[in-house]
Structure formats: C-alpha cells, structure tokens
Amino acid sequence: MNFPWLLIVLLTPLIGTVLLFIPKRFVAFSDQQIALYSSLITLLFVIVIALQFDISSSATTQFDVSFDWIPVFGITFHLGLTGISLVLVGLTAVLTPIVLLATEYEVQKKNKEFLMWILLTQASALAVFLARDLFLFYVVFEAMLIPIFFLVGRFGGPKRGAAALKFILFGLAGGLVMLAALIWLYFVAVNQLGRGTFSITALSNELKLDAWTERWLFLGFFFAFALKAPMIPGHTWLPDTAEQATPGTSTMLIGILDKVGTYGMLAILLPIFPNASIEFAPVIIGFAALGIIYGALVAIAQKNIKRTFAYISISHFGFIVMGIFSFTSIGMIGSVIYMVAHGLSTAGLFLTAGYLIRQKDNSLISNFGGVTKAAPVMTGLFLIAGLSSIALPGMAGFVAEFMVLTGTFQKYKIPAIIATLAIVLAAIYMLWLYQRVFTGTETKESSNIIDLNKKQILALSPLVALTLLFGFYPAPIIKISESTIAHTMTLVGATDPQPMIRKVVNQ
Amino acid sequence: MIQTVLNTIPTPSFEYALLSPILVMFLAACLGVLVEAFLPHEKRRFAHLIIVFTAILFAFFAVVLQSGPNGRALVANGTVALDGPGWILQGTILLVAALSALLFAESKIDPLGDAFAARASTLPGGEEEKIATKLGWAQTEIWPLFSFAISGMLLFVTANDLLVLFVALEVMSLPLYLLAGLARRRRLLSQEAALKYFILGALASAILLFGSALTYAYTGSLEFGQISNGISSANNSPGLLTAAIALVAVGMLFKVGAVPFHQWVPDVYTGSPTPVTSFMAGAVKVAAFGGLLRVFYVAFGALVWDWRPLIWVVAGLTMVVGSVIALAQSDFKRMLAYSSVSNGGFILVGFSATSRPAIAAVLIYLIAYAFATVGAFALLTLIREQAGESSTLIRWKGLGKKSPLVAGLMSLFMLSFAGIPLTSGFTAKFGVFTAAISGGATALVLVGVIASAIAAVFYIRVIILMFFSEPIPEGPFVVVPSIFTTIAITASAVVTIILGLFPQVVIDLISSASVFLR
C-alpha cells in the first residue's frame, strides 16, 4: 500500500475535533484557530492529492486504502478516489475553512461545540465521498445526520427543534429504505458471486441482476438519494431546515452534504444498476424538470430570504439530477461542475445574507431595503454569488447550466426546453430579491447596517475567485471528472448521440 | 427385587463443574438467606454485596473457562444443554445482571438510601413507613431474591427439558414478582405493578405448563431432542400438537413481552424500582429470548414451516404496536417499556429466520439491547426531583445545559435504540434484518424499516428535549452517583460504542458458538 493519503485527509478534522477538548494549558491555540488550522491542513492535503491525481489513469480508483472491518459480511473500510469524488472532496475542503472563517461571529457561547460539529460534518462528508465500500458509504450516509441535527437544533432559530426533527426523520426514512435494499443487494451478491461483498467496484463490474430485482433495488437507493438531494416531492424538509439553521450550518448542509444525494446517483446508482437507471431515466428527468420549475416558482413567492435560497437550491438540484440522467458525457460532466458551482454560490448567498440577517435577527425580505447604501461590499459579494447562481455567463453557474441543458437536449428535448424556462424565472427570483433587499429606499431597519470588515471579505473572497475561475476556465473540473464519467458511461452502456449536422466534405 | 428396580433406574449423572455457574448463584442465594437469618441489620448489606459480587464473578469465570469446544455437552441426564448459545447467553446474563446489581447496590443517589422500600410490609405513606425510613432500615432480602432470579435465568436459557424449563421459569420469576413491589418511592404504583405481574405471570406459567403437558401427551417426552424426534415419528392427531405448540408459544411470548401478550410490560416497568426495571429489561429479556430460541429451534424445529407465519405476524405486530404506542408516552420509563416491546419485535424478526446466522443475530441484538437499556435506566436514576426520579419527559427540557455528560450519554443510548450507525443498535438491526432477508422475510423487514422510522421519532425527541430546549424553572436536577452506578453506566456506554465501531470481535465469538445441541 502506498502512503495512505486519504486516511490522513479523513483523520485531520477528527484530530482537530479531539484537540478542541484538550485543556488549554497544553495547546497554544484558541478553539477557533484549532478548527481553522485543521481545516486548512485538510485543504493542503487535498491539494497535494489533487496534484498527484493521474487523470489519464484507466484505474477506477486511486490512492486506495483498505482494511478489513467486518469480514463476516465482507465489509471493508475502503477509501478510494475517483474523479468525481476528488471534485467533491475538493469542494468540501474549500468550503469548510470558509465557513469557519465567515461564521466566527455566529456563536460565541457554545463556540467549542459549534466548531466540533462543523469539523465532524466535514469529516463525514469527506468519508462519504471517499467510501468505496457500499456498507461504509451507508454508515457515513446515516451518521452524518447527527452533526447537522445538532447544528440545526443547538444553534438555529426559534423553531429549531421541530426543524431538526424533521430533518433527521427524512434522513432516517431514506436511510432505512436504503438499508433494506443494501441487505438485499448483499444477498444477491452472495448468491451470484459466491462471496459477500460491498465493494462498489466489484458490485458494478461483476454483478448481473435480473430485471425486477434491479428495479426494486434501484428504487430503494434512489429513494434515499432523492430525499437527500432533495427532489420534489420529498423536499419539504429543506426550506424548514434552512430557515431555522444558521448560515454556516446551511452552507455545510446544502453546499456540501446534500451533494451526497446527487453524488450517490452518479457514483452508485448508475454503475451498479445501469439498466434500471436507463429505464427510469425519463421519469426521473420528468421529476427533475418539474422540480426545476416548481422550485423556481416557489422561490419567487417566498417572503423569507433563507427559504428563498432553499427553494433556489431545490430548483438547482433538479438541474443536477437532469444532467446525470441525461446519459451524455456533457450533461454528466455539467452536473459535476454544477455541484461545485452550486456549492460555491450557496455558500456565497447564505454567508453574505447571513451577515445581514444576523445584524437584525430577522430574515424577512420586507424588513430590508436599500442595504447597498450602508453596506456596498456586502451587496457586491451577494450579487456575484447570486449571478453565478442564476447562471450569468462568465460565472461557474453558467458553464454548468449550459452543459447540463446541452446534454439533456441531445436526448430529452422537451424536458430540456421546459428547464430552460427556469433561466427566466431565475432572473426573477434572484434579481427581484436583490432589488427588494439591497436597492430602493432605505428602510429604518437597514439604515444602521454595518458593512463587512476585512476579515469577512477575506473569508468570502475565495468564493468569488473560484466562481470566476471556473466560469472562464472550467477545464480542471472537466479534466478530473472526464475519465470517471467515461467509465460510468461504459458501465451504463450509453453513448453520446452523433452530432446532427454532419461535416460537409465535398461541394 | 429392590435391587433389580434400582438397577433399572439410571444413576443421575451430575456434571458439577459444567453446571457450576448455576450452582454458584443458587448457593449464593441460599447463603444470602442465612445472612438474613443470622447477621445483625447493619452488617447484612456488606455481607450480601460480597456474596453476590463474588458469586457473579465466579460464575462468569466458570462460564468463560468452560465454554470452549470441550465444554459443550448435554448434562444432568440430558435435561440441561450447555452448548454455544447456552454459554453465550449465560455469560451475557451474568454481565448484564452484574450491571443491574451495581444499580441495586447504589445508595448514594437517594438521600433516604437505596431504591428499595425500607420495610416492604409497612403501609405506604403510613407512620410506620416514616419510622422505618428514619431508622435507616433496608430491605436486604433483595439480594438473595436477586441471586435466585439469576440462577433461574442461567438454568432457563440452558434447559433442555420442558419440566426443567418450567422450574427455571418459576425460580426466575417469583423473585421478580417480589422485587417489582419493593420501590421506595411511589410505593402504591410499585405494589400494583407487582400484583399485576404476578397474576399475569402465573397465568402465563400455567399456560406454558399446560402446553408442556400436551406436548408430552403427543410426543411421549419432555426432552427437547426427543420431542423433536417424537414430532417427526408420531402419528397422533395434529390438533393436539397444534394446541401444544400454541400454548407453549403463548407462555414464552408472554415472558418476552410480545404483542398481544405485552400488556403487563408498561405497568410493571413503570412501577418497579428502576434498578429492577433495568434488570427486567436487560437480563430477563435475554433469558426469555434465550429460552424461546431453544424451545422453538430444538424442540419444535421440525415444524418451523408451521409456526414461522405465526411468528412473522407477532413480530410485525410487536414492532409496529410497540413503536406507535411509545410515540404517545410522556413518561420516560413507560416510553422505554414500549421501546422494550418494540425491540422484542425486532428480535423476533431475526428469530423467525431459523438459521445459524439468525441465532447469532438474535444473540448480538440481545447483547446490544440489554447493555443500552441498562445504561438508559441507570442514567434515569440520576435525574431526580425532590420526590424521587424525574421520569416525566417534558420536565427534562434543557437537561443538556445542567449536565452535558448525563444528557450526552443518554443521547448515545437513544441513538443506539434508534439504530443510528456506529452504535450497537445499528449492528444489531443490521444483523436481524440480514438474517430475516436471507430467511425470505423481505416483507417483514420492510415493516421493520417502517417501525424503525416511527421509533426514531420518540428516541430523538428525548434528545431534542434535553439539548434544544431551554430548562424549565424548578426542573429536575442531576445527582452525582457513587462508583457503583458510574461503573454500570460506563460499561454500558463502552459496549454500545465498541459493538457499533468494531462489531467483528463479538460477531466472531458468537458465530463460532451458534449451534444448538440436541
């Protein structure tokens, strides 16, 4: 085994968590510093790994680390890196320090606890993206509910208890159905391969399922992922949770952890259940298109800033799902970029608006107006995040949305056309929100708002930089995820459609 | 003449060494009775503690040392089966009982003394009660009763003969009926619980005995192995056998608290002194399921196709009814009582699969559940108000602020009950679901999945109350316990985490020992 880089990456936030609880006599750093440094060290390790990642390699996973965990059931603690997981691990590693820096104000009293849960959220996100054993994936998929549950319940708004309960029940409901499917899949593997295994690679390469088993298993897993992502009609927990949670929590949850749903579709559903994926794709694309439009329309109607963001996310998750089930390389790569772009813009929206909301302890849109006068920098940062979110050219969001729509259009014309309408709706929800909150006459509430200080600007500037970078130059993400997507396409047996216009050779 | 008769009766063989765990506990109980008779008041408690803990320790070592492949045999003329599951169950019962014993021994939490009435014979709330309490008397008979109950359990899980099973059941149950009625606080509730438990328990015992008689009538034997042979070879009317199995099943399912024979559980669990409740939900549950496993796998194993549908129905009902009713509970003890019912349903799901992995899955579930439940009840004893334990859930608001440690540990046990990964509860659920799916009960697993989701609501609600709400004025306070309770809680928490993170250790131990002797 080579140097266990992935294990180190995973352990860093956990070590940080432990260090938080060492008496201060033995540690020279404050809690805030410990958490921040551990997340920065994680980022450093991820960069080192990314530089060593071989994009031309034909291997399914790289940097594998594997131990026996529960050998009776063939369960291993297997971490491995595919192109897609590298992208999402990178997103996690980038967003966590930003959240830690930007939310320094959020909790003063229970600071240690807040930092602990954030670091544990990060660790579980890293573990879930790195897991190459389906059982390990499931375990983390469920376990990661706990840190967010406490983050929402301990640090949220007045109705945080109910929101946290709703959040964890939706998560558990999905997870339990997935558990039943997981055990069933295990027995199929035992009967067919003669050994129990949960290895994602082995299951996707070796297993031949009969049609009905595959359909049922697909639905079991899809149910969990669709609740997590979330797709309508299983989305109702997200607005409630986002409304009550602090901006930092929302960023970790919607920016990173909800991607587990779409990641699961891409990295687990498609490779292991290829036939069922193709069969169900039209229905799923239909639901995705519905979600895109529904999320956008409801976002327009919201009175609360945080709920607006939640519905925007529901609309955007529709795009991601649509790209995945388009079964075109461009659509699927578009989805991967979309996950990154959405993570960046969500962080930008929640964190900038968070500064605003926190000052007034109120997240109603009608409460604000003309904020730009008092807080121009905040306004600017919000606008950039918002414009990337609605896919303005030059921003990461545009590249992603364009690729997804192009990919989908190649195979599903009508859903793609319907989804395009959302671009218009997006302009309404985002610009109208911007107009009402930041421009216009200054309300009494908005007059004494304090603009961002240098530290806060520093915390948010990487978001802006990355949004613009991937807007103009998305090549890194494309290069990294290309071979994994190609591999997935082969497993599914899908091919990109031929161009409609042939090159004219003669005449 | 006499000589020839004597020659035809086999000399009873009695493997003292192999039976030593049972015998030691029985001896300890007898010694305890002598202590009660001959030692003065103030020396009794100390003597009892020494006797009981030494006995448990000795019995446990006897189990550990003899449970290897050489120690697996039918002993006492085939009436006791010391096989893999038997040894595992005995070991588990002893460990869990030891934790309960620690709670029994705790006398620092309540300013008035331990959890038991000063004089059980005094009128609740009467003048005599006050005097007895003031004099600092203690009902030290609990210790011999406790030891008798354990020896009964150890015999119950290894009984290979319906008559021995019945005797063991009585030795285990009678002391429990008494213990249930000995609470120091809320004595009327406790006495009511004892009476209910006794009447219903006696009825169930009678039904079991009747079932045993019918089984004998059909197969001509009381020994499990011979019953099994008798069933395959006899050609009497099947109606007799059906009645026999049904009656035995009712008697056993009553003990495990399965729906529809669960009615006694909430009242008895709530009324009993909390250490006794922990004993019932922990050790007694293990023993009851151990007996159920052996009777149905060994004696009635040949008829699995006949009784399995029945168990499926009972399991499904038990999970759903237990979870749904628990949702509506406002009292923590009562909630845990229904949770115990619902967990029994999950164990039955694994039980219904009747395979080697199923035995292992049931045993792991029992271990996981027993330790977590003892831990939860032990924590409950620390959360108090002036009038005793504070078990009204709504009053626990903001407990996390008053004692993050107690509330945190309680959350751990709640998460384990809810089956969240990385806790023992998940390992357990995974095991029984796996066993059930391999046994073809996929639909039952789906019911189990739904029941788990329902159950998660009330477990998680406890966490929400403790951590996400502001404390109420004059709410409960948290007492710092003595070393006894501290050890019990720590041990439960460690088992809950270890079984969640590294289940392989226990799975190896149990999988190698999950074959019944017949």
- Read off the pLDDT of residues B252-268 as tens digits, 9 standing for 90 and up: 999 999 989 999 999 99
pLDDT tens for residues B304-322? 888 999 999 999 999 999 9
Report the residue from B442, B449, B503 with minimal CB separation from A176.
B449
Distance (Å) of CA B237 to CA B214, B223, B273: 12, 20, 47
Locate the chain B residue with the closest alpha carbon to A146.
B420
pLDDT exceeds 90 at position B330:
yes
Q: Measure the CA–CA gap between A264 and A301, rounded to whole angstroms.
A: 31
Q: Measure the CA–CA gap between A453 and B225, rounded to whole angstroms.
A: 81
Q: Measure the CA–CA gap between B307 and A116, rounded to whole angstroms.
A: 51
pLDDT tens for residues A200-236? 988 888 888 889 999 999 999 999 999 998 898 889 9
Mean pLDDT of A195-203: 89
pLDDT exceeds 80 at position B239:
yes
pLDDT tier, A105 (very low <50, low <70, confident <90, very high otherwise): low
Task: Reduce the secondary structure of A227-261 to three states and give it as a string.
Answer: HHCCCCCCCCHHHHHHHHCCHHHHHHHHHHHCHHH
Is A187 at the interface with chain B, CB within 8 A? yes
Is B422 at the interface with chain A, CB within 8 A? yes
Mean pLDDT of B472-481: 88
**The pair of three-digit structure tokens given for residue B277, joined into one six-digit string:** 């409740």
Mean pLDDT of A159-164: 91
Q: Measure the CA–CA gap between B212 and B299, rounded to whole angstroms.
A: 11
pLDDT tier, B117 (very low <50, low <70, confident <90, very high otherwise): confident
Q: Which residue has the higher pLDDT, B12 or B247?
A: B247
Please say whether the beta carbons of B316 and B454 come within 8 A.
Answer: no
pLDDT in the model for residue A361: 80
Burial code of A117-144, b = ≥16 C-beta within 10 A, e = fewer?
bbbbbbbbbbbbbbbbbbbbbbbbbbbb
Q: Do B421 and A177 count as a contact with CB atoms less than 8 A apart?
A: no
Q: Which residue has the higher pLDDT, B368 or B230?
A: B368
pLDDT tens for residues A372-413? 888 899 999 999 999 999 888 989 999 999 999 999 999 999
Return the bridge partners of B73, or none. Answer: B82
pLDDT tier, A119 (very low <50, low <70, confident <90, very high otherwise): very high
Residue B494 has phi, psi (to 5 degrees) of: -65, -45
pLDDT tens for residues A428-470? 999 999 999 998 888 877 778 888 888 889 989 999 999 999 9
Q: Do B446 and A69 count as a contact with CB atoms less than 8 A apart?
A: no
Q: Which residues of B touch A68 (CB under 8 A)?
A: 504
Q: Which residues of A touch B461 (CB under 8 A)?
A: 165
CA-closest candidate to residue A246, choices A117, A88, A375, A382? A117
Is A14 at the interface with chain B, CB within 8 A? no
pLDDT in the model for residue A25: 83
pLDDT tier, B108 (very low <50, low <70, confident <90, very high otherwise): confident
pLDDT tier, B302 (very low <50, low <70, confident <90, very high otherwise): confident
**The pair of three-digit structure tokens given for residue B400, joined into one six-digit string:** 């996390």
Q: Which residues of B touch A70 (CB under 8 A)?
A: 503-504, 507
pLDDT tens for residues B272-297? 999 999 999 999 999 999 999 999 99
pLDDT in the model for residue A454: 87
Is A173 at the interface with chain B, CB within 8 A? yes
Distance to chain A for B78, nearest Cα, Å: 33
Q: Which residues of B touch A154 (CB under 8 A)?
A: 467-468
pLDDT exceeds 90 at position B517:
no
Say which DSSP state B186 is in: S
Burial class (CB in 10 A: 0-12, 13-18, 19+), B6: exposed
pLDDT in the model for residue B236: 67
pLDDT in the model for residue B1: 56
Of the listed ranges A489-493, B263-267, B403-407, B497-501, the least confidently predicted one is: A489-493
Burial class (CB in 10 A: 0-12, 13-18, 19+), B328: exposed
Distance to chain A for B421, nearest Cα, Å: 5
Is B461 at the interface with chain A, CB within 8 A? yes
Of the listed ranges A214-218, A247-251, B5-9, the least confidently predicted one is: B5-9
Q: Measure the CA–CA gap between A189 and A366, rounded to whole angstroms.
A: 57
Q: Measure the CA–CA gap between A392 and A379, rounded to whole angstroms.
A: 17
In this prediction the ipTM stands at 0.89
Please say whether the beta carbons of A234 and A318 come within 8 A.
Answer: no
Burial class (CB in 10 A: 0-12, 13-18, 19+), A110: middle
pLDDT exceeds 70 at position B349:
yes
What whole-number percentage of chain B has pLDDT above 90?
70
Direct distance between the N- and C-terminal alpha carbons of chain A, in angstroms, rounded to an integer: 60
Distance to chain B for A134, nearest Cα, Å: 13
Residue listed under structure tokens 């229905």: A283
Please say whether the beta carbons of B479 and B109 come within 8 A.
Answer: yes
Helices and strands of chain B, counted as H and E runs: 22, 5
Mean pLDDT of B488-510: 92
Length of chain A: 507
Is B446 at the interface with chain A, CB within 8 A? yes
Is A105 at the interface with chain B, CB within 8 A? no
Is A21 at the interface with chain B, CB within 8 A? no
Q: Measure the CA–CA gap between B219 and B231, rounded to whole angstroms.
A: 6
Locate the chain B residue with the closest alpha carbon to A154.
B468
Distance (Å) of CA A334 to CA A349, A462, A475, A478: 21, 22, 12, 8
Q: Measure the CA–CA gap between B298 and B82, rounded to whole angstroms.
A: 13
pLDDT exceeds 80 at position A112:
yes
- Contacts of B504 by beta carbon, 8 Å cutoff, 6+ apart: A68, A69, A70, A71, A72
pLDDT tier, A505 (very low <50, low <70, confident <90, very high otherwise): low
Amino acid of residue A328 = T
pLDDT exceeds 80 at position B366:
yes
pLDDT tier, A359 (very low <50, low <70, confident <90, very high otherwise): confident
Strands B477-478 and B388-389: unpaired
Distance (Å) of CA A53 to CA A44, A466, A479, B420: 14, 20, 11, 34
CA atoms within 13 A on the CB side of A7: 10
Mean pLDDT of A28-32: 85
pLDDT exceeds 90 at position A357:
no
| Domain extent listing, chain B | 14-511
Q: Do B468 and A153 count as a contact with CB atoms less than 8 A apart?
A: yes
Is A73 at the interface with chain B, CB within 8 A? yes
Mean pLDDT of B167-180: 95
Q: Measure the CA–CA gap between B473 and B395, rounded to whole angstroms.
A: 9
Distance to chain B for A186, nearest Cα, Å: 9
Residue A433 has phi, psi (to 5 degrees) of: -60, -45
Is A177 at the interface with chain B, CB within 8 A? yes
Length of chain B: 518
pLDDT in the model for residue B326: 95
Q: Measure the CA–CA gap between B57 and A136, rounded to whole angstroms.
A: 38
pLDDT exceeds 80 at position B377:
yes
pLDDT in the model for residue B3: 67
CA torsion through residues A28, A34, A40, A41, sign? positive
Locate the chain A residue with the closest alpha carbon to B357.
A72
Distance to chain A for B196, nearest Cα, Å: 36
Is B272 at the interface with chain A, CB within 8 A? no
Of the listed ranges A134-148, A262-276, B124-138, the least confidently predicted one is: B124-138
Please say whether the beta carbons of B191 and B179 come within 8 A.
Answer: no
pLDDT exceeds 90 at position B247:
yes
Locate the chain B residue with the closest alpha carbon to A137.
B421
